[in-house]
């Protein structure tokens, strides 16, 4: 049993993987920061090792030394922690401003108490351990060994630890750079056009008919005028209306299924016309469905209501939305079930009765007598959950939804005709056994929609990773006051968007300020928002890690150059060329960066397979794998150049006098 999240398992899994990725990225940045602190404290310990050796040689108690070093470490850790908390409180307010409004609403900036406690414990532990490092260079029995070693440079253990920390920093930086590059490439690949390539760079215009357009015909007229105005722009290749834009949260609907080509059986019912006098015979409201109304005219789909006896005995109690065939073979849709008043029920002797609407029946009479109808055999109860979208007739061609059975509504069906719909291949195979044309679906209100065609699904964008069972309804029959017009364009520019906005503003009768944007931007705010947020945050983590890693490498190389200043001064005094000294320092920095890059790339091969489940991209990502080591080598060169140039400026006499 899984907790309800309001999302599909696929989306929930993707969000969970992104959450794990962000935690790993934050952990990598924290590790780089801790390595920086460790390098700083180790350098400080190396400088103080001579002082502590002298104090031990003069008889200083180790307990007092430990207390002094421990107090220094506590001050550093507490001060750093306080600044970190202030920075965290500041970023909680500043980071949401960097995202779209919808993205900021998705993010929950709440403190992770367990993570904060773990980070504080790790930071304090590293600070204390590295702060006590000078004691590791002192032996109880021979403090002079440390004095001699200080003149010759740091111990091998200290040198190896410093190199290990720098390589760990470079490894984390490489992992973050490659991860951010793969996420960015996957995000851009998700925006690339799939089989909807004929639309080029699509634009979207969301329009809303004012409330006074309660009449669907007036609202449809406004949408048609807006579409004509948009088509007049140069560069527009195709237009189509839709209620739900690809990538937006779909509108799901639970529908009853009626398979196609059901066998028929004959039933006999009393036929009567529903006149004003009939209204006194029935109890209101109806037991199921609805009564006749103004939408039912002589030109609309033929409808009828039945009494409870007809529904129970002849139609198995499930009558609303079903059809019967009259003696002439004409289809009649049952829209409601009524209960008879007690007096009327006694007079009618509970005879099954079907009522035609008087406005649809020529020369209506109260009762026309028993008539033999044919009724489809009731199918096995089945329910389908379909993604519902209200579209225009041009939607299928614009989106490359090719019919594989039946037909699509090439012209918007009349609002007065019987309801029709088109489903995709997934819905046909899942709920109709591949034979959907001629079948029907019935919604919760009892409205029947006949399936007239099946289309082959096509991805408008590769971001639509999974095709869901869907039904498409004509906007002329299922009018929505808010619709989105998608416009195919060869190129999209700010000027074209502004021109489109002005044309739509000029369309008479619509709500002001239509929302005009591109499909790429819309997807960035909706379906691809988690991937884009992850790419931005991991990219920011990579930049922070590179900055900290560069500072750490700079500090390590500076300390290494300081400890070798006597050697470098002697070599220069003996005639060594300056560029050779610079090359030696640069080579050491690049060697450390190269080792970290190799380790990071090896780890990235594992991470890349996991990232493909978040944002997969077609084809190899060679530039990503090359960019990471190049960035590291550039950072290492910059971080090593300054210590190398400073090493050239040393003076042998000054060093000898200082020592």
pLDDT at residue number 491:
79
pLDDT in tens, 253-295: 999 998 988 888 888 888 888 888 888 888 888 888 888 887 7
483, β-bridge pairs: 207
Phi, psi angle pair for 275, to nearest 5°: -110, 175
Query: What DSSP state is assigned to residue 461?
Result: B
SS3 category, 298: coil
Pairwise CA distance, residues 21 & 30, whole Å: 14
**pLDDT band at residue 146 under the 50/70/90 scheme:** low
Pairwise CA distance, residues 90 & 82, whole Å: 12
Mean pLDDT score of the chain: 77
Pairwise CA distance, residues 570 & 561, whole Å: 13
**Is there a contact between 589 and 639 (Cβ–Cβ < 8 Å)?**
yes
Strands 264-274 and 353-357: parallel
Confidence check: pLDDT of 346 > 60: no
335-356: average pLDDT: 75
145-159, 173-187, 642-656: which has the minimum mean pLDDT?
145-159
Pairwise CA distance, residues 450 & 436, whole Å: 9
**pLDDT band at residue 12 under the 50/70/90 scheme:** low
149-160 b/e (C-beta count within 10 Å ≥ 16 → b): bbeebbbeebee
- Indicate the length of the chain as a whole number: 659
Confidence check: pLDDT of 100 > 70: no
Pairwise CA distance, residues 126 & 32, whole Å: 12
DSSP of 7-61, one letter per residue?
S-HHHHHHHHHHHHHHHHHHHHHHHHHHHHHHHHHHHHHHHHHHHHHHHHHTT--
pLDDT at residue number 454:
96
More confident residue, 615 or 622: 622
pLDDT at residue number 177:
85
**pLDDT band at residue 493 under the 50/70/90 scheme:** confident
SS3 category, 257: strand
Pairwise CA distance, residues 649 & 149, whole Å: 25
pLDDT in tens, 223-244: 888 888 888 888 888 889 999 8
More confident residue, 578 or 448: 448
384-404: average pLDDT: 90
pLDDT at residue number 463:
47
Across 437-441, 462-466, 535-539, the highest mean pLDDT is recorded for 437-441
Task: Compute CA distances 336 → 286, 304, 321, 343, 374, whole Å.
Answer: 7, 7, 8, 21, 18
């Amino acid at each position: 049993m899984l907790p309800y999240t309001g999302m599909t398992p696929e989306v929930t899994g993707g969000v969970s993987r992104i959450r794990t990725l962000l935690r790993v990225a934050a952990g990598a940045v924290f590790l780089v920061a801790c390595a920086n602190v460790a390098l700083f404290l180790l350098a400080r310990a190396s400088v103080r090792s001579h002082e502590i050796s002298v104090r031990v040689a003069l008889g200083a108690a180790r307990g007092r030394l430990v207390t002094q070093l421990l107090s220094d470490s506590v001050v550093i850790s507490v001060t750093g922690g306080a600044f970190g908390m202030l920075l965290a409180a500041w970023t909680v307010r500043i980071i949401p401003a960097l995202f779209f409004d919808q993205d900021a609403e998705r993010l929950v900036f709440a403190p992770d108490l367990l993570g904060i406690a773990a980070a504080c414990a790790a930071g304090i532990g590293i600070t204390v351990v590295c702060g006590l490092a000078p004691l590791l260079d002192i032996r109880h029995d021979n403090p002079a060994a440390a004095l001699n070693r200080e003149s010759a440079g740091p111990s091998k253990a200290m040198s190896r630890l410093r190199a290990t920390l720098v390589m760990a920093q470079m490894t984390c930086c490489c992992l973050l750079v490659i991860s951010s590059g793969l996420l960015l490439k996957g995000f851009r690949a998700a925006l690339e056009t799939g089989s909807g390539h004929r639309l080029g760079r699509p634009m979207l215009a969301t329009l809303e008919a004012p409330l006074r357009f309660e009449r669907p015909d007036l609202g449809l007229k406004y949408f048609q005028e807006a579409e004509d105005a948009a088509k007049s722009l140069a560069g527009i290749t195709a237009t189509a209306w839709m209620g739900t834009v690809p990538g937006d949260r779909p509108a799901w609907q639970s529908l009853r299924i009626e398979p196609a080509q059901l066998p028929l059986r004959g039933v006999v019912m009393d036929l009567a016309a529903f006149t004003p006098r009939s209204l006194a015979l029935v109890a209101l409201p109806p037991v199921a469905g609805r009564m006749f109304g103004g939408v039912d005219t002589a030109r609309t789909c033929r409808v009828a209501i039945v009494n409870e006896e007809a529904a129970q005995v002849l139609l198995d109690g499930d009558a609303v939305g079903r059809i019967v065939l009259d003696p002439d073979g004409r289809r009649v849709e049952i829209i409601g079930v009524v209960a008879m008043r007690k007096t009327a029920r006694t007079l009618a002797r509970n005879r099954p009765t079907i009522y035609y609407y008087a406005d649809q029946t020529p020369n209506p009479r109260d009762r026309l007598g028993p008539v033999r109808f044919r009724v489809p055999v009731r199918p096995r109860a089945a329910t389908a959950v379909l993604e519902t979208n209200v579209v225009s007739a041009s939607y299928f061609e614009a989106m490359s939804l090719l019919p594989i059975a039946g037909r699509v509504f090439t012209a918007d069906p009349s609002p007065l005709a019987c309801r029709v719909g088109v489903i995709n291949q997934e819905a046909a195979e899942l709920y109709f056994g591949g034979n959907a044309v001629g079948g029907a679906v019935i919604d919760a209100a009892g409205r029947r929609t006949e399936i007239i065609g099946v289309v082959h699904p096509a991805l408008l964008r590769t971001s639509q990773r999974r095709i869901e069972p869907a039904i498409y309804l004509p906007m002329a029959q299922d009018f929505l006051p808010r619709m989105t017009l998608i416009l195919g364009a060869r190129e999209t520019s700010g000027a074209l968007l502004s021109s489109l906005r002005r044309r739509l503003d000029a369309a008479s009768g619509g709500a002001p300020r239509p929302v005009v944007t591109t499909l790429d931007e819309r997807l960035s705010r909706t379906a691809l928002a988690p991937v884009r947020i992850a790419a931005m945050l991991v990219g920011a983590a990579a930049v922070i890690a590179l900055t900290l890693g560069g500072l750490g490498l700079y500090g390590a190389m500076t300390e290494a150059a300081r400890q070798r200043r006597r050697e470098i001064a002697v070599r220069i005094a003996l005639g060594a060329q300056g560029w050779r000294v610079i090359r030696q320092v640069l080579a050491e920095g690049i060697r450390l960066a190269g080792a970290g890059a190799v380790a990071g790339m090896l780890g990235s091969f594992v991470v890349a397979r996991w990232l493909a489940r978040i944002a997969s991209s077609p084809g190899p990502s060679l530039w990503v794998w090359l960019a990471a080591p190049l960035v590291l080598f550039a950072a290492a060169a910059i971080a090593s150049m300054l210590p190398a140039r400073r090493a050239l400026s040393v003076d042998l006499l000054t060093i000898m006098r200082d020592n």
